Structure 1
Amino acid sequence: MSSPQTGPESQAKAEGTTTPEQTTAPEQQKQWAMAPAQPAAAMSGWMAFAGSLIAMVGVFNIIGGITALFRPTYYLVGTAQLLVFDFNAWGWFWLGLGILQVAAGVGCLYGQMWARMTGIGLAALSAIAHLAFLAAFPLWSLLVIALSVLVIYGLMVPPRGATA
């Protein structure tokens, strides 16, 4: 009978009998305890690129919104020549869209799926809205449309190791 201090291993040694579990090396017995943890999924390079890019476009839209609200004479055309809305409405639109884009960009950098889907929708909305705002700021609008297309591509590229 084994005592709590000696245990079955020390009793088997004293009696000269060994079990198959005791004949293996201690390193092999404890191998299960030292198994490495499952590797964390690495973020896709495209996801990081698109997340930072949508956050940057969001900051640009915030600046454009503040400009439209406080200095509408900065733009090339007057309010009457805009396709839709006036500069006050566009200012609030760009400000709200920019804040949402920055939040989605930060979420993408943390690898959140909600941010990925939201970012695709916000980038598409931004591209369409800049198309409507094209008369007021043509080169800038074309640049933001191109950046929005890059964001959509970057967020749609599957992560590394994806099977579907």
Structure 2
Amino acid sequence: MTSRAMHDRTQAHHPHRTSGWLTFAGTLAMVVGAFNVIDGLVALFNDDYYLVAQNKIMVFNFTAWGWFWLILGAIQVVVGLSILTGKLWARATGVLFAVLAAIGHVAFLQAYPLWSVLTIALCVLLIYALTAPPAGATGA
């Protein structure tokens, strides 16, 4: 059998290219989203948990930040599931919300520095994982 025939038969079984990066990105988006949901719930229900004494971070109070993180995290979890199912729109949306989360955590550095730096690093890794795979690839 020629290599062309074997190649055609292989493509018939796997019409889409899979990417481990996209599987990783979908999982990481859900993890970062879950972290952000936790941040939001803590900010809503336990103002004393964070280190800022004035109950303000830049321009928002903890209640506003709590809702921001809760909504952003929930969206990131849904986007992560959509990345795993191979939705192309989810890759672009995942990048957008990872950027928003990273910027938000820069503003949140005063309240919880170590957690914010860790989450910013995860967001940067997520952006790479979403932009590195080829255009037609899907998560495994």
TM-score bracket, shorter-length normalisation = 0.7 to 0.9
Of 50, 60, 82 in structure 2, the residue corresponding to residue 85 of structure 1 is 60
Residue 71 of structure 2 corresponds to residue 96 of structure 1: yes
Task: Show CA shifts across 1:75-104 (max 9, x none).
Answer: 011344521200000000000000000011
TM-aligned CA distance change 1:161 to 1:114, over 3 Å: closer
Aligned residues between the structures = 128
Q: Is the 8 A contact 1:108 1:116 kept in 2?
A: yes
* Alignment of structure 1 residues 40-55 onto 2, 5 Å: 40-55=15-30
Task: Show CA shifts across 1:16-67 (max 9, x none).
Answer: xxxxxxxxxxxxxxxxxxx957223132111111110011000010011000
Higher fraction of strand: 2
- Structure 2 CA distance, aligned partners of 1:80 and 1:68? 10
- Structure 1 CA distance, aligned partners of 2:73 and 2:136? 32
Corresponding position of 1:65: 40
Return 5+ residue gaps in structure 1 as ranges. Answer: 1-34
| Larger radius of gyration between Structure 1 and Structure 2 | 1
1:75 partner letter: Y
- Structure 2 CA distance, aligned partners of 1:113 and 1:103? 14
Return 5+ residue gaps in structure 2 as ranges. Answer: 1-7
Partner secondary structure for residue 109 of structure 2: coil
Partner secondary structure for residue 126 of structure 2: helix
Residue 104 of structure 2 corresponds to residue 136 of structure 1: no
Corresponding position of 1:20: none
TM-aligned CA distance change 1:123 to 1:161, over 3 Å: closer
- Structure 2 CA distance, aligned partners of 1:126 and 1:78? 23
TM-aligned CA distance change 1:105 to 1:161, over 3 Å: closer
Task: Show CA shifts across 1:101-144 (max 9, x none).
Answer: 00110000111101111000000000000000100000000000
TM-score by length of 1: 0.73
2:75 partner letter: L
Higher relative contact order (CA 8 A, sep 6+): 2
Identity %: 53
CA RMSD of aligned residues (A): 1.9
- Structure 1 CA distance, aligned partners of 2:135 and 2:64? 41
- Structure 2 CA distance, aligned partners of 1:111 and 1:125? 22
- Structure 1 CA distance, aligned partners of 2:114 and 2:132? 28
